[in-house]
Amino acid sequence: MSNSALSADREFAFSEDNFRFLTQWVGKNTGIVLADHKRDMVYSRLARRLRALQLDSFAAYCALIQSPEGEAELGNLVNAITTNLTHFFREGHHFEHLLQVLQGIAAKPNSLKKLRLWSAGCSTGMEAYSIAMTLQEALPNINQWDVKILATDIDTNVLETGQRGEYALSALEDVPAAYQKKYLEPVKAGASKGQVNEATRALVSFKRLNLLESWPMQGKFDVIFCRNVVIYFDKPTQRKMFGRMAELMQPKGWLYIGHSENLFNICDAFTLEGRTIYRKNT
């Protein structure tokens, strides 16, 4: 494909060289693989940044990224490219299974009453709060437990949304009716948004984390949700990432992955226990 072909009928000149530079930068810095069929997506998402910066071409944007002055733009580039499709209680069978797992832990007379859970690639926080609601449902005496949910994402914009815990009323409709009464703030008349209640928000800590970089977590997790994240990574990156997750998990800990993902020939530290549900072997 010629350099001019990518620029035809577009607001901004967008050459093959521009596309290659951007995809290589994204791959190196985030692990996300952007194949050729993602050209239109890359253009449409970054065209917004060109408008905001008042640039007239992708060549100018690429030059900015490589300059010292462009350091402040790097976070915006990552935020623009990252896909954040999510909703409350997505893949409902995961939360049904998690509820059973947590109820089983709570029923053990010798339980340490300590739980650590991680929502990796948490997006706007809907997954993390779905976990938090499930936790509260499973542990009626949750105040007697040492419970923490870590929610991480590379996109700072979605983390800000998660911290506020405010969502459009249409999004909150995915929360089961019984949970809405328990774990959401009452909706004010005429409001377009609702909010997760304070007790539920307090269970979740939102942190920025690039999965390709160092992980600061020290303790072991009982449960990790890493769903629809690795589909953007190549196989070597997937192997490394799931290997690191296995090292951070308690023996017999639980891992939930996306509906189109699997660990076959990726990581042998887990055994498949259900539909996209894995358990650490030891």
pLDDT single digits (tens) 16-34: 999 999 999 999 988 888 8
- In one-letter notation, the amino acid at residue 116 is R
What is the domain class of 92-280 according to CATH?
A: alpha beta
Q: For residue 75, count CB atoms less than 10 angstroms from its CB and return exposed for 0-12, middle for 13-18, buried for 19 or more.
A: middle
pTM: 0.83
Residue 40 known to be catalytic: no
Task: Please list, in sequence order, all residues whose beta carbon lies within 8 angstroms of the beta carbon of residue 127, skipping any fewer than 6 positions away.
Answer: 86, 90, 119, 151, 225, 227
β-strands 166-168, 193-195 pairing: antiparallel
Indicate the pairing of strand 193-195 with strand 221-226: unpaired
3-state SS, the chain, equals CCCCHHHCCCCCECCHHHHHHHHHHHHHHHCCCCCHHHHHHHHHHHHHHHHHHCCCEHHHHHHHHHCHHHHHHHHHHHHHHCCCCCCCCCCHHHHHHHHHHHHHHHHCCCCCCEEEEEEECCCCCHHHHHHHHHHHHHCCCHHHCEEEEEEEECCHHHHHHHHHCEEEHHHHCCCCHHHHHHHECCCCCCCCEEEECHHHHCCEEEEECCCCCCCCCCCCEEEEEECCCHHHCCHHHHHHHHHHHHHCEEEEEEEEECCCCCCCCCCCCEEEEECCEEEECC
Q: Spot the catalytic one: 9, 10, 40, 45.
A: 45
Q: Do domains 5-81 and 92-280 have the same CATH topology?
A: no
Candidates 2.130.10.10, 1.20.1070.10, 3.40.630.30, 1.10.155.10; CATH matching 5-81: 1.10.155.10
Catalytic residue among 153, 201, 222, 227: 153
Residue ranges of the domains in the chain? 5-81, 92-280
Q: pLDDT tens, position by position, for the chain (282 residues)?
A: 444 445 456 899 999 999 999 999 999 988 888 889 889 999 999 999 999 999 999 999 999 999 999 988 998 998 888 777 789 999 999 999 999 999 999 999 888 899 999 999 999 999 999 999 999 999 999 999 999 999 999 999 999 999 999 999 999 999 999 999 999 999 989 999 999 999 999 999 999 999 999 999 989 999 999 998 988 789 999 999 999 999 999 999 999 999 889 999 999 999 999 999 999 999
Active site residue 45: yes
Q: How far apart are CA 65 and CA 94, in angstroms?
A: 40
Summarised one tens digit per residue, pLDDT across range 198-249 is 999 999 999 999 999 999 998 999 999 999 898 878 999 999 999 999 999 9
